[in-house]
Copies of this chain bind each other. A is one copy, B any other.
Amino acid sequence: MTEKQENILNTALKLFATKGYTNTSTSLIAREAGVSEGLIFRHFGSKDKLLDELVNLGICDMEKAIAPLIEEVDPNKILSDILDFILHVVRNDLEKWQLQMTLKYQSPEIAKKYHSSKVIMQMNEIIENAFRKLNYPNPKAETKLFMLIIGALFTILPNEDEIDQESFINFIKSKYNI
């Protein structure tokens, strides 16, 4: 992985996440990344495959992020950690994760691949297990709602100031008694 390759990936990630996939041209990516447009196609083949590559990298990041949760036994800590993680991401790593979360509006086919990936299934399992341990009557639906809330947080939190972000996360925690 050369420096220019990384430039392309970082730039594309930023632009896809902020402007959207179809709204971002390959010529703009090249210009912002400081490379010739042809290089994008030399390394990644097509604009589609470039997005695909970013999603794959996102899946890797996701795997690293949930790794500590797999061994965690306290269900309350699991839910709490996830919400803290969201807050951390929105403040520090937004672009990287926003792309994954808004993927369904960028490219439905690639989104499908992502949402049926092993990590997402694993994430589901971890959360469902937590709700089961906590004796929630309907852990499956509870998980679906929790995942829905997490995803939507990425679309509203970035527009709020830090205080509101934190107090809203704390409010959600209180709804789950954590």
Contacts and interface: CB of A to CB of B under 8 A. Distances in A.
Interface in A4-21: 20
A23 to B, nearest CB: 5
A153 B20 CA distance: 21
Most buried by B among A102, A104, A148, A167: A148
Contacts of A58: none
Given A22-B23, A151-B152, 4 more contacts: A144-B156, A148-B153, A149-B149, A151-B155
Interface of A: 20, 22-23, 102, 104-106, 138, 141-142, 144-145, 148-149, 151-153, 155-156, 167-168, 171-172, 175
